Amino acid sequence: MENESSAHGLDFEAPIVELENRISELRSFSESSEIDLSGQLEELEKKCEEKKRAIYSHLNPWQRVQIARHPGRPRTTDYIHGFVSDFLELHGDGTYRDDPAIITGLGRIRGRKVMIVGHRKGKTNQEKVACFFGMPHPEGYRKAIKKMRLAEKFGIPIISFINTAGAFPGIEAEERGQAFVIAKNLQAMASLKVPVVAVVIGEGGSGGAIGIGVADRILMLENSYYSVISPEGCSAILWKDTSHAPRAAEILKLTSSDLSNFQIVDEVIEEPIGGAHRDPMSTIRAVEEAILRHLDEVSDLDPEDRKLKRFHKYMAIGRYADQQQQVVEDQG
């Protein structure tokens, strides 16, 4: 996929982008004038790498949210094109219509049959609008669970790619039972007999994310986020103003590091320095390796034991808060 990082630089990346532009200009001048500027180029490149390490080793939660939303970041379709062979897309929910915000299909990862389910945001403006910017309607979630049950019927493991700001919030989606359909998905996924591995590759927003995210293993890319609500939504509720989104991001504890500390995610997949958008292919390879490793581990379990472990995994989420409350009560 094409690297779009320079075209969509984030505010805190400005010093890096400036150095990269200088390097590009100097390299072009050197080639056109046939003057050897390798020494100056090497010095600038070294300075650029040092700047990247300095900036990206001290990112705050809001900056990570911005990286998670970067348009140059690999999307579900990039991972499919990157390591899923013989992919056959499956359409429709059998009830209303096909929702392009959810992509499903059969394929192989290094010869292993898998069912792919993921959010699709689109890349061009036309695709983004058609896919509702990756925010599924009820028919999208019905489509997802229908294909998961098909996978269960044939003993095929499921790989879920999570990347959504949330389920579509429009009136028509609510009229068609958005919350009810997501709840039915949670119930159905909890009882699937086949292995399920979910990967948060960008945004993990609320019920829209977990609607395809009940899994035996939850993986997160380093600069993705997973939260009950977006920072802007939280800010609007608490302060009646979305300008407090950076503060909300801090309070929500939505980063991969936070969720790893809470033992909600099973692995944080390291990204290239500067984020996945700066080296998409190495990110895609890292995700492939992590998926296969975890798939091997959960595939060896007895199906009933796997379901029980999945149940206990989700029942344990929030235990930290219970323990903290008990400490407060004991001290009181």
pLDDT exceeding 70 applies to what percent of the chain? 93
∠ at Cα 270 (246, 206), nearest 5°?
45
Same domain, 20 and 126: no
**Residues 20-52: pLDDT tens digits?**
888 888 888 888 887 888 888 888 888 888 888
Total residues found in the chain within this entry: 332
Residue 329 resides in a domain: no
DSSP character at residue 253: T
Half-sphere exposure of 56 (CA within 13 A, CB side): 21
Average pLDDT over residues 169-190: 94
- The reported pLDDT for the residue numbered 5 is 43
Band the pLDDT of 327: cuts 50, 70, 90. Answer: low
Same domain, 84 and 127: yes
Write down the H helix ranges in 99-195: 125-130, 138-153, 171-175, 178-190
Same domain, 44 and 101: no
CB within 8 Å of 240: residues ≥ 6 apart: none
Band the pLDDT of 199: cuts 50, 70, 90. Answer: very high
- The reported pLDDT for the residue numbered 9 is 67
CATH number of the domain within which 287 lies: 3.90.226.10
Residue 219 resides in a domain: yes
Half-sphere exposure of 37 (CA within 13 A, CB side): 18
Task: Tell me if 177 sits within 8 A of 136, measured CB to CB.
Answer: no
* Mean pLDDT for the chain overall: 90
- The reported pLDDT for the residue numbered 323 is 57
- The reported pLDDT for the residue numbered 48 is 84
DSSP character at residue 225: E
- The reported pLDDT for the residue numbered 50 is 84
Residue 1 resides in a domain: no
- The reported pLDDT for the residue numbered 130 is 94
- The reported pLDDT for the residue numbered 318 is 76
**Residues 265-274: pLDDT tens digits?**
999 999 998 8
Task: Tell me if 85 sits within 8 A of 79, measured CB to CB.
Answer: no
Task: Tell me if 107 sits within 8 A of 88, measured CB to CB.
Answer: yes
Is pLDDT at 201 greater than 90 in this prediction? yes
Task: Tell me if 68 sits within 8 A of 165, measured CB to CB.
Answer: no
Domain containing 229 equals: 65-323
Structural domain count of the chain? 2
∠ at Cα 97 (96, 103), nearest 5°?
130
Same domain, 19 and 90: no
Instruction: For residue 324, count other CB atoms closer than 10 A to its CB.
Output: 10
- The reported pLDDT for the residue numbered 267 is 97
Same domain, 54 and 107: no
**Residues 203-246: pLDDT tens digits?**
999 899 999 999 999 999 999 999 999 999 999 999 999 999 99
Average pLDDT over residues 293-322: 88
284 or 5, greater pLDDT: 284
Torsion of CA 266, 269, 270, 274, to 10 degrees: -120
pTM above 0.85, yes or no: yes
Band the pLDDT of 119: cuts 50, 70, 90. Answer: very high
Provide the 3-class DSSP secondary structure of residue 266. coil
**C-alpha–C-alpha distance, residues 44 and 223, integer Å:** 26
Task: Tell me if 13 sits within 8 A of 66, measured CB to CB.
Answer: no
> 119 - beta bridge partners?
102
- The reported pLDDT for the residue numbered 3 is 43
Residue 4 resides in a domain: no
> 103 - beta bridge partners?
118
Residue 22 one-letter amino acid: R
Instruction: For residue 76, count other CB atoms closer than 10 A to its CB.
Output: 23
**Residues 288-304: pLDDT tens digits?**
999 999 999 999 899 99
Same domain, 41 and 175: no
- The reported pLDDT for the residue numbered 198 is 98
Sign, CA torsion 143/144/145/148: positive
DSSP character at residue 198: E
Band the pLDDT of 159: cuts 50, 70, 90. Answer: very high
Domain boundary at 43, 58, 73, which? 58
